[in-house]
Structure 1
Amino acid sequence: MKGITKALVFSSAALLSTSVLAFGERGQWSSGWGQGTSEYMAVNQYGDELYIACNPYEPVSMTLTVGDRTYGGGRYADGDFSLIIDGTEVQTPYDTVSRVGANNFFYAWENLRSATSIVALTSDGVHVELPSKGSFDALPEAFTEGYPCRTEF
């Protein structure tokens, strides 16, 4: 019995450590799924992260976390942010309540997939470099069967 318990604890710990490393690994994009939501994350070497959540029942959610501050849509956000993708700025790509906003999100999504440079710019002037490594594999092509995001407009 003691050997079985140790084996179960070891197996559970190994599974847990694998899943933790699989989502949110520093220096690259990752994707995951939980509770009906597809999740996408880019984490830089300092632990700052861009997080995108998509499900078929709610509009896309996108947040940027820099240290202990969170930017993006939502009532607890410390401010807004824009993404500069290969030199082109996309303002508030998470604000999809209008046609322009929805188009900005789709533009950002498709360009994140092939980006070589991604920088987030917060409303209080902080520049955050984000990785582009793995974005093509993590983010499905828009408007295909595997694409789970929807906008408000």
Structure 2
Amino acid sequence: MLVKKYWVVAVTLGLTIAAAPAAAFEWKSGWGQGVSEYSVSDGNQNELYIACPNYDGYVTAYAVIQGVEFSSEGQGFDVIVDGERYSNPFNTECRVCADIFQGFWEELRRANRLRIAADGLEANLPVRGASEALPALDDPAFSCHTEW
């Protein structure tokens, strides 16, 4: 049920972003129902949505690549930041995974190039506004909890 709630929000954000002018494709942040939300779309059936519960639960993410949906809670997807491939970086259910996520998050905030990939599909996503939308690890607004 929780996954469906996040997906509805992700689809809603995606539709909102897709309706915006091309120049507006940049990272967005928001908050709703106890969840900090971060998203980016290219307006062409490619997007990334990250959900960070503020109280209970751990980070989850969803990607749409060429119109095909992927979840970090399922088979996962890769995120490629400036050529560095992170395999399902939102899976934080082990100590090493949680450490990787933190490094990934900081790299994502500073990205010059961003790609998402799964099942042989890949797409570029905008990086504009990432450092403003995604809080730093030491920022009190950072709520992307990990298992460890």
- Bucket of the pairwise TM-score, normalised by the shorter protein: 0.7 to 0.9
Query: Which residue is 1:60 aligned to?
Result: 59
Query: Which residue is 1:6 aligned to?
Result: none
What do the CA deviations read for 1:63-117 (whole angstroms, capped 9, x no partner)? 111244221223xx4x421111011111111110011211221122111111010
2:98 is the alignment partner of 1:98: no
Letter in 2 for 1:71: F
Asked whether the 8 Å contact 1:91–1:104 carries over to 2, the reply is no
TM-score (norm 1): 0.76
Q: How many residue pairs align between the two structures?
A: 129
Alpha-carbon distance in 2 for matches of 1:98, 1:84 = 21
Query: Which residue is 2:106 aligned to?
Result: 110
Matches within 5 A, 1:23-34: 24=17, 27-34=25-32
Matches within 5 A, 1:2-151: 24=17, 27-55=25-53, 56-74=55-73, 77=74, 79-122=75-118, 124-151=119-146
Please say which of residues 39-48 and 25-34 is displaced more in the overlay: 25-34
Letter in 2 for 1:38: S
**Which consecutive unaligned segments of at least 5 residues does structure 1 have?**
1-19
| Larger Cα-atom Rg | 1
Alpha-carbon distance in 1 for matches of 2:80, 2:65 = 16
Letter in 2 for 1:63: Y
Asked whether the 8 Å contact 1:82–1:91 carries over to 2, the reply is yes
Alpha-carbon distance in 1 for matches of 2:45, 2:133 = 18
Q: Cα offset for 1:143?
A: 2.8
